[in-house]
Structure 1
Amino acid sequence: MHHQVPLPHAGPTGSGRRPRIAFIDALKSRDISFLRDIMAALESDYDIRFTNSRQEAALIEAIAWADIVWLEWCLEPAVWATNKLNMRGHGKKVIVRLHSTEVIDGRFPHQVKWEAVDHLIFVSEDIRDELLKQMPDLPRRVRHSVISNGIDCDRFAPGPCAGDPRRIAWVGDVAMKKNPMLALQILRRLVDLDADYHLHVAGEVICPRTARYLDHLVGEMELGRSITFYGRIADIDAWYRDKGVLLSTTLYESFGMNIGEAMASGCWPVVHNYPGAARTWPAEALFATVDQAVERIRQVRPNGYRAFVVDRYSIARQMEAVRRLLAEGPAAFDPQSYWEARHEQLKGSIRSVGHIGLSEIQNLQDYAVNADHLRSALLAKFPDPKGRVLFDAGCGTGVVSAVCADLGFKVIGADFSKTAIVQARARVPGGTFIAGAFDQVPLSPVDAIICLDVLFHIVDDDLWQRGLKALARNLKPGGRLLVLEHFPEAPSDAQHVRWRSLDAYRKAALSLDLALTEIVTYRLQQIGAEKTLLVLDKAAAKPAPAAGNREMAVMPAS
């Protein structure tokens, strides 16, 4: 269980200052970050802070300062910030942008608390589809969209003369994932045809194993005079202008900034057909074999694809989408759809009604503690429950209904998830379970009502008030209502949760003629948090003139 870290107050956001965006890039410094052009485009309207740090103190400082938190890369800082900091609870908008590294090589997207994120950005359709295969429930947890990277087509532009068609650019970190070995094979074939072909490699050698391999193969293939390694190029836009071809041999890209920048600079694109490449780049630019690459390179036509980049991937197009995203309001939360999807996804697991971040065993352990307190409160009021009618409001899959049925209560349950109700009927065959909102179920007054871990899932205050009124109305005089609540110190940033205070319950009880007779607070070890069982009793009716049988609840048809 993640315990939240206090987040300092950022100060007022009145009309006296511009909105603030904190950009957090866990991998790249500001001068090489994919955020560089976005920040430059936004600085006229926003105050911007950039941090490349992974230190918690630096992250907290930047996030506390900001109104909008942009987490570039879905890596450790995104996991930590969404689980540890109550950013949305402090009124901050949270954006995560995801590239290929996180989906192909990592597990971090599965650890992010997506309910604490306002929007997830993918930079390509392929990487979106790949993550959704792994996490099919993600669209129900966070809004998302595809916004391709943008190319600054003013900066990346052809020079006064066309680049030499035999000067081939290869750009990127020199590592296995960029597949430079394939580039050597292509170069060797080209040099056999024309000794003037030359491969110009721009990028840092970040993998010693790859470096040693390339050094060895360059010698073995006698390519020493046909290849130049430049390291990182600061003015890469100028560097492109005398090159005629961009050769990309990468194993995978979420987008491929170097491909778009080179095309905008007038280079002829020759791109290895990695998964998803055909959804991003022209089909005729792709190759699968060395022979296809050589044939493509020898067809070079200067400036043939600049218009393709300008039309599809200009920075102006990207920024139009980014500005719309920054301006959009919070998503409307549909609780019925959320719970229906959750029960369907976790069918058969106690996690569908318990804590989704805990294991099955951990949830069962905490549920056992809740059940002990529930039994004590019910038996204290009804030592012999046989024949008594109990209503489980928001019964979910019937886990707690089963506990009450075992005590001897005749159980009625209601939940607006049809998937949950099917499971409740199977779990408690002798009970009556109704698919519908608990405050709208036609019900004659009952002896006892339980509403456990339900009311803080009602995010609308009016619906919360209406729900409490319905519970009080459906309780017999002399009956007992048990409400299990959680009163944390900090508000939640989860869209399906709204904490209210104990004082709010006291005021509501008074207005509904319910006596708050007991408050039982205990700690759940697995969740690592305190829970509070509110015991509310309805005053007994005045004695009737003549004795009669106790009225039973009208049992709705299952």
Structure 2
Amino acid sequence: YSQRVAPSQKLVVRVHLQEIDLPYLRTVKMEAVDTFIFVGELIRRAAVEGHGVPEGRSVVVPNFVRTEHLARPKTDRARNTLGLVGIVPQRKRLDLAVDLVGRLHREDPSYRLRIKGRRPEEYPWMEKRPDEMAYYREQYERIEQLNQDAGEDIIIFDPQGDDMAEWYQEIGIVLSTSDFESFHLTLADGAASGSDAVSLAWDGADLIYPDSILFADIKTMAGALLDPEAAERRRSDLQSVISSFDERRVFERFSELLFAGAAR
């Protein structure tokens, strides 16, 4: 598109995390692009410094959150139910989520974990990653053992689906255990649904989310989850930032970038 855009046209490019590790940005005719959009500040900086994206034409627009759609009453069992959305690829760190729920369940048997989304064996391309599939098989064995030891399913897999608002009604705490994310929408969606949220402090998380929900490791995260006062602080801090992700505000920003002003 950048090689063919006409003078009367406007070209806006939204860059995703995986494109930072691929060569395509370097093939873009930079002067032909009016605006480059990123969901997080760290990814924007990486594109500017590593791929030559013009800083003056790069902006951060967060992922949008359907705040009104997600704001629904929780079920009785939601309070100590953790939710993890997406476990593929390995950098999502299912192993750490299993560590966390195991640690919490030893302190309070009411804790459990629900995992939403496709499993690795449902992706054909995962067959080409034997080491990664071995990792998942190991986690499945751990989950099976934890469930057996508990005498019930404390880790539950829920299928991929567009029933996210209903699913979040069952979730009291949303979780990010990833090595790295550009935004991790689960944290924002969960907070909008009224859930608590906790995350490992992957690079750039502090540029998007409040420090109170970010943790260096699973041990400190578990300790904070067992502290009711800390949970109230996290909820309050989250609500102060979630409004900026509201779909109406994000769409207004997109409209400004797409339609305001004349084309080149």
**How would you bin the TM-score normalised by the shorter chain?**
0.7 to 0.9
Conservation of the 8 A alpha-carbon contact between 1:188 and 1:223: no
Query: Which of 94, 100, 105 matches 2:17?
Result: 100
Secondary structure of the corresponding residue to residue 145 of structure 1 = strand
In structure 2, distance between residues paired with 1:223 and 1:163: 18
Residue matched to 1:134:
50
Secondary structure of the corresponding residue to residue 194 of structure 2 = coil
Residue matched to 1:252:
180
- 1:44-59 alignment to 2 at 5 Å? none
Secondary structure of the corresponding residue to residue 157 of structure 2 = strand
Residue matched to 2:167:
239
Closer/same/farther in 2, CA of residues 218 and 173 from structure 1, 3 Å limit:
closer
Conservation of the 8 A alpha-carbon contact between 1:157 and 1:265: yes
Conservation of the 8 A alpha-carbon contact between 2:178 and 2:200: yes
Residue matched to 1:50:
none
In structure 1, distance between residues paired with 2:226 and 2:16: 33
Residue matched to 2:123:
none
Query: Which of 126, 130, 146 matches 1:222?
Result: 146
Secondary structure of the corresponding residue to residue 304 of structure 1 = helix
Query: Which of 153, 162, 167 matches 2:81?
Result: 167
CA distances 1:183-237 after superposition (whole Å, capped 9, x unpaired): 1111111122122211100011134614323223324x53453211112132111
Residue matched to 2:130:
none
Conservation of the 8 A alpha-carbon contact between 2:99 and 2:218: yes
Q: Which amino acid is the alignment partner of residue 270 of structure 1?
A: V
Question: Alpha-carbon deviation of 1:125?
Answer: 0.9
Report the number of matched residues: 245
- 1:99-118 alignment to 2 at 5 Å? 99-103=16-20, 105-118=21-34
CA distances 1:149-208 after superposition (whole Å, capped 9, x unpaired): 121111111316676322111112432021111111111111221222111000111346
Secondary structure of the corresponding residue to residue 243 of structure 1 = coil
In structure 1, distance between residues paired with 2:14 and 2:34: 11
Residue matched to 1:157:
71
- 1:315-326 alignment to 2 at 5 Å? 315-326=247-258
Question: Alpha-carbon deviation of 1:296?
Answer: 2.1
- 1:53-68 alignment to 2 at 5 Å? none
In structure 2, distance between residues paired with 1:163 and 1:237: 16
Higher fraction of helix: 2
Return the structure number with greater relative CO, CA threshold 8 A, min gap 6. Answer: 2
Conservation of the 8 A alpha-carbon contact between 2:72 and 2:165: no
- Say yes or no: does 1:82 pair with 2:82: no
Secondary structure of the corresponding residue to residue 206 of structure 2 = helix
Secondary structure of the corresponding residue to residue 138 of structure 1 = coil
Conservation of the 8 A alpha-carbon contact between 1:102 and 1:109: yes
- 1:450-461 alignment to 2 at 5 Å? none
Query: Which of 217, 235, 246 matches 1:314?
Result: 246
Q: Which amino acid is the alignment partner of residue 140 of structure 2?
A: D
Conservation of the 8 A alpha-carbon contact between 1:151 and 1:309: no
Conservation of the 8 A alpha-carbon contact between 1:162 and 1:244: no
Question: Alpha-carbon deviation of 1:88?
Answer: 2.3
Secondary structure of the corresponding residue to residue 255 of structure 1 = coil
Secondary structure of the corresponding residue to residue 159 of structure 1 = coil
In structure 2, distance between residues paired with 1:203 and 1:160: 20
Unpaired stretches in structure 1, ≥5 consecutive residues: 1-80, 333-558
| Structure ID, larger Rg | 1
User: Sequence identity of aligned pairs in percent?
Assistant: 27
In structure 1, distance between residues paired with 2:160 and 2:91: 17
Question: Alpha-carbon deviation of 1:82?
Answer: 2.9
- Return the TM-score normalized by structure 2: 0.83
In structure 2, distance between residues paired with 1:138 and 1:264: 33
Q: Which amino acid is the alignment partner of residue 111 of structure 1?
A: T
CA distances 1:360-388 after superposition (whole Å, capped 9, x unpaired): xxxxxxxxxxxxxxxxxxxxxxxxxxxxx
CA distances 1:290-345 after superposition (whole Å, capped 9, x unpaired): 2111112223547924623443211122122111112233577xxxxxxxxxxxxx
CA distances 1:479-518 after superposition (whole Å, capped 9, x unpaired): xxxxxxxxxxxxxxxxxxxxxxxxxxxxxxxxxxxxxxxx
Conservation of the 8 A alpha-carbon contact between 2:92 and 2:178: yes
- Say yes or no: does 1:204 pair with 2:114: no
Residue matched to 2:220:
292
Closer/same/farther in 2, CA of residues 255 and 198 from structure 1, 3 Å limit:
same
CA distances 1:400-448 after superposition (whole Å, capped 9, x unpaired): xxxxxxxxxxxxxxxxxxxxxxxxxxxxxxxxxxxxxxxxxxxxxxxxx
Question: Alpha-carbon deviation of 1:289?
Answer: 1.3
In structure 2, distance between residues paired with 1:222 and 1:160: 26
- Say yes or no: does 1:194 pair with 2:114: no
- Return the TM-score normalized by structure 1: 0.41
Residue matched to 1:366:
none
- 1:325-336 alignment to 2 at 5 Å? 325-330=257-262
Q: Which amino acid is the alignment partner of residue 34 of structure 2?
A: D
In structure 1, distance between residues paired with 2:212 and 2:72: 21
Query: Which of 264, 269, 277 matches 2:197?
Result: 269
Conservation of the 8 A alpha-carbon contact between 1:205 and 1:211: no
Conservation of the 8 A alpha-carbon contact between 2:87 and 2:94: no
Secondary structure of the corresponding residue to residue 154 of structure 1 = helix
Conservation of the 8 A alpha-carbon contact between 2:30 and 2:54: no
Residue matched to 2:57:
143
RMSD: 2.4
Question: Alpha-carbon deviation of 1:112?
Answer: 2.0
In structure 1, distance between residues paired with 2:255 and 2:194: 29
Conservation of the 8 A alpha-carbon contact between 1:159 and 1:242: no
In structure 2, distance between residues paired with 1:128 and 1:299: 35
Higher fraction of strand: 1
Secondary structure of the corresponding residue to residue 149 of structure 1 = coil
Secondary structure of the corresponding residue to residue 119 of structure 2 = coil
Q: Which amino acid is the alignment partner of residue 113 of structure 2?
A: L
Closer/same/farther in 2, CA of residues 88 and 223 from structure 1, 3 Å limit:
farther
Closer/same/farther in 2, CA of residues 109 and 162 from structure 1, 3 Å limit:
farther
Q: Which amino acid is the alignment partner of residue 164 of structure 2?
A: I
